[in-house]
Amino acid sequence: MERLNFACGENYAATSFHKTHLSGELVPRVALSSITQMRDGRAVHAKERIDWVDTCKGIGISAIVLGHMLHPGTLQSFLYLFHVPLFFFMSGFLHRVQPAFGTYFCKRAKRLLLPYAAFLTAFSPLLYFEMVRHGGSSSQATMAIFWGGNRLGSVCTTFWFITCLFLTEQCGNFILTRCGGVLASIWGIGMLSLAYANSIWWPQLSLPLDANVVAGALPFFLLGHLYRHHSRPWFLFLSIPGSISAAYLIWHGSAISINMKIGQYGFPILSLLFSLSCIHAIIRVSTALSKFTSVVTVTGSVGRLSLGIMFLHPLFLASRVTQWLKDANLAIGFVVVLSASYLVSKALSKYRSTDNIFLGASVAGMLRQT
């Protein structure tokens, strides 16, 4: 079983995330194959999906789109606190250790880096035009394309996440394969310390493909993997006050938000804890919502195409029509941008070639091909 969404490894359908065995992706998809297993005395096809995962991804990507449409303020800062960390956390949660590093590298490169290269190639003319129009040179635009990371703006503003996720997964898989729980924890603490050092003392330091942000993303990845094995029901009673407290502090101007693209991680430790509180609350909400078919139909569909939406929504945000809609009515503008990104992603998933190249073999495409 090789093909997953924001790709993952082998797993079987389960009714609870406490019994899930998946592997990582943008947030990974569950594996699909023709294999069946027995559950409650009946045959269960492996194409059954874990609805709460898709719902969680749908909520996460919707928060990212909305966050990019908002003017700086309380709501945007609150969304930034958790929307990108959620995907790193879920990637760790769904990750299954892959001892064959070369095989894992190639698999994840196909799922993430191939779409990255395809969309970057497609959007490069627009990026050139935007940079030159705002006073940049063609050489600066060329450097931005090859450097990637936080130098990519405009229609490519979200592309940093894909390369950072890929590098985070590779580092996380190596640590989880080679190290036990204690050593993995030490790695997580060490990387978090480096992230804070980068943010506080060397804020101008950035590496190609936003590789320096891996230091801030890896702790979320490792904590997600740990959470899969040690989640407790009483966590909810901590996450709700934590989320409310975070919203209250942001409302009153506290600088606790996170902007991972530029290596800003908020207030050390405190912002991490608030982010984890929000992430856990979203997971529990997603689990509850997944019981409603109508909700799963909408959020699950969006979640399954979250990779395409991640790439495409900045393109629609850049249009003058969207800018006018956003200023006239934010809710309508949000629905238009999210719907347009979803529909183009769905169209790309319809054909095997475009699905493989632009979406890394999406779940939506695989369901259509089986």
C-alpha torsion sign, points 281, 98, 64, 258 = positive
pLDDT, block means (10 residues), the chain with 370 residues: 37 38 44 37 43 94 97 96 97 95 96 97 91 83 93 95 98 94 92 97 94 98 91 76 95 95 96 96 93 91 96 94 88 96 97 95 55
Say whether 240 sits in a helix, a strand or coil: helix
Question: Which residues are CB-contacts of 98 (< 8 A; sequence separation ≥ 6)?
Answer: 9, 23, 104, 173, 177
Task: Give the number of residues written for the chain.
Answer: 370
> Where exactly are the structural domains of the chain?
17-37+46-369
Tokens read off for 7: 């790709």
- Give the global pTM: 0.87
- Of 258, 252, 260, which is closest to residue 275 (Cα–Cα)? 258
- Residues 68 and 194: their CA atoms lie apart, in Å, by 27
